[in-house]
């Protein structure tokens, strides 16, 4: 009864946000579902899609595009979309899909392979191979068309660094130098948050990816989360333990924000609209897209941000080669398996990904381009301070394991981080719990400890 009630409640919430089709759909209408920002002033996706919709409908008389935004944090968006994809009655024709969910949704039978469409689309050859791989499943087929990627690094407040006597520009060579800078800020600038690292279940995938994995893949442990040679998930690694110990140091020494704020599901909004613009945070481990928050149409217009903030690469643990680390992800446009209008949906994808529209999107979103012609476009290259820096991190970047079990592994990472952040478990105990969870969700397909 409880399960039925919860399912009914979620179905009602989908209806309230406008999700779902009428059961039969129309051969002349393509319904597009996407995640609308929870920041009311940051609606670049709305504006972009409205522009492409108008262009598409003008070029295709009689055809219509129905835009169905879901206003929710990313974790809730994922849950709502997966519920929609289960039924022909609620499945849209096109869905905005995070690359880390593709394989789990494929395994559930929710998505349509696009290879037949892509083979007849000349522009597909202009996409970089790494972006194509992010949307390719274990079966070798491609299930999404990426619209951009991203990299991650350290954002730091130059005004605060100068007040604290820290060097500008700042180029930390190892984890100790990052922590020492945070300790200096704490000592010299009371009231300023020295460093922010996403952590725990509240921030969700942000904690796993730009928090924990930015540490793990810089440990030199060799295998990260997954051992490709053995086709097994890694447990008991020293790098995993060291990453939790770094996090433990941040919170035990009070180098991060108060725990309740760090674990808040809306902490990303606090970072972008309060802590950084108001000189309350000195160092933020975050993504290449942050500048998008501060442009004139962003969530927190901040004309001075490019003069106030600097960017530094996240160093490897001991400064070992290659010396820097980044993580990349990105989103794709995917066609649900139960779409009523797949052909028209792919035509709309092609409109979304003309060179002109792709340039427009990457400028609006502050994404890293995935088309070669867009990456060399003068307007893109001049679009945002820092775009050259973050594009330069692509050669150091790592990707999450694009495997069906990854979402469950990611949740286990968040639980381990939260246990350490709150002090409920020391790093060693949190790692043991993580290891047991991974063994369970992967049916024992693990290697190591």
pLDDT (tens digit per residue) in 369-422: 889 999 889 999 888 888 889 988 888 888 888 788 998 999 999 999 999 999
9 inside domain? no
In angstroms, the CA 343 to CA 335 distance is: 9
Q: Are residues 340 and 361 in the same domain?
A: yes
Which long-range CB contacts under 8 A does 130-133 form with residues at least 24 apart? Answer: 130/328, 130/394, 130/399, 131/330, 131/370, 133/399, 133/402
What's the pLDDT score for residue 25?
A: 55
Range of the domain at 357: 17-150+329-399
Q: Are residues 45 and 106 in the same domain?
A: yes
What's the pLDDT score for residue 42?
A: 55
Quote the number of domains for the chain.
2
User: Is residue 175 within 8 Å of 246, Cβ to Cβ?
Assistant: yes
**123 vs 72: which has the higher pLDDT:** 123
Q: Are residues 118 and 166 in the same domain?
A: no
Is it the case that residue 128 has pLDDT exceeding 90?
A: no
Average pLDDT over residues 18-23: 40
141 inside domain? yes
Q: Are residues 306 and 413 in the same domain?
A: yes
3 inside domain? no
138 inside domain? yes
Q: Are residues 229 and 340 in the same domain?
A: no
Where does a domain end: 399, 421, 437? 399
Q: Are residues 213 and 299 in the same domain?
A: yes
6 inside domain? no
285 inside domain? yes
Task: Give the mean pLDDT of the chain.
Answer: 90
Average pLDDT over residues 259-264: 98
Q: Are residues 115 and 167 in the same domain?
A: no
Q: How confident is the model at residue 366 (pLDDT cuts 50, 70, 90)?
A: confident
1: Cα separation from own chain's centroid: 35
What's the pLDDT score for residue 5?
A: 36
Q: Are residues 119 and 264 in the same domain?
A: no
CA distances to 269, 278, 280, 299 from 192, rounded to whole Å, are: 17, 10, 5, 22
* Two tokens, residue 331: 């989103």
Q: Are residues 119 and 81 in the same domain?
A: yes
Q: How confident is the model at residue 136 (pLDDT cuts 50, 70, 90)?
A: confident
Q: Are residues 114 and 198 in the same domain?
A: no
What are the DSSP calls for 408-431, one per residue? HHHHHHHHHHHHHHHTSS-HHHHH
Q: Are residues 124 and 271 in the same domain?
A: no
56 inside domain? yes
CATH code of the domain covering residue 417: 3.40.190.10
Q: Are residues 263 and 362 in the same domain?
A: no
Is it the case that residue 329 has pLDDT exceeding 70?
A: yes
Q: How confident is the model at residue 139 (pLDDT cuts 50, 70, 90)?
A: confident
363 inside domain? yes
């Amino acid at each position: 009864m409880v399960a039925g009630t919860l399912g009914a409640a979620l179905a009602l919430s989908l209806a309230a946000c406008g999700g779902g089709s009428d059961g039969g759909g129309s051969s002349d209408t393509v319904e597009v579902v996407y995640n609308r920002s929870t920041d009311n002033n940051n609606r670049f996706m709305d504006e972009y899609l409205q522009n492409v919709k108008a262009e598409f409908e003008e070029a295709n008389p009689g055809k219509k595009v129905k835009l169905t935004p879901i206003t929710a944090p990313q974790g809730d968006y994922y849950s709502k979309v997966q519920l929609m994809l289960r039924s022909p009655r609620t499945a849209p024709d096109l869905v905005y899909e995070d690359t880390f969910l593709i394989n789990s949704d494929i395994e559930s039978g929710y998505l349509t392979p696009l290879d037949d469409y892509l083979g007849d689309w000349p522009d597909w050859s202009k996409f970089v191979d790494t972006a194509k791989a992010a949307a390719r499943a274990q079966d070798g087929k491609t299930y999404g068309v990426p619209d951009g990627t991203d990299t991650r690094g350290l954002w730091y407040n130059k005004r605060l660094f100068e007040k604290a006597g820290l060097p500008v520009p700042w180029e930390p060579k190892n984890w100790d130098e990052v922590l020492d800078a945070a300790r200096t800020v704490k000592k010299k600038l009371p009231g300023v948050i020295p460093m922010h690292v996403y952590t725990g279940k509240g921030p969700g995938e942000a904690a796993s990816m730009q928090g924990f994995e930015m540490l793990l893949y810089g440990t030199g442990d060799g295998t990260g989360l997954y051992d490709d040679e053995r086709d097994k998930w890694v447990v008991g690694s020293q790098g995993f333990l060291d990453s939790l110990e770094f996090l433990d140091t941040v919170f035990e020494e009070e180098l991060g924000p108060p725990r309740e704020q760090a674990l808040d599901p809306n902490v990303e909004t606090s970072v972008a609209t309060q802590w950084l613009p108001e000189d309350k945070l000195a160092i933020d481990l975050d993504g290449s897209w942050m500048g998008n928050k501060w442009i004139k149409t962003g969530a927190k217009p901040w004309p001075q941000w490019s003069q106030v903030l600097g960017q530094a690469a996240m160093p490897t643990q001991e400064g070992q080669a290659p010396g820097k680390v980044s993580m990349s992800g990105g989103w794709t446009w995917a066609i649900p398996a139960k779409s009523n209008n797949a052909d028209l949906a792919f035509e709309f994808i092609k409109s979304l990904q003309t060179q002109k529209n792709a340039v427009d999107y990457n400028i609006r979103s502050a994404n890293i381009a995935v088309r070669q012609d867009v990456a060399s476009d003068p307007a893109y290259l001049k679009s945002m301070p820092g775009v050259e820096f973050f594009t330069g991190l692509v050669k150091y970047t790592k990707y999450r394991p694009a495997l069906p079990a990854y979402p469950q592994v990611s949740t286990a990472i968040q639980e381990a981080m939260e246990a350490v952040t709150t002090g409920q478990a020391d790093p060693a105990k949190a790692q043991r719990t993580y290891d047991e969870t991974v063994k369970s969700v992967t049916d024992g397909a693990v290697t190591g400890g």
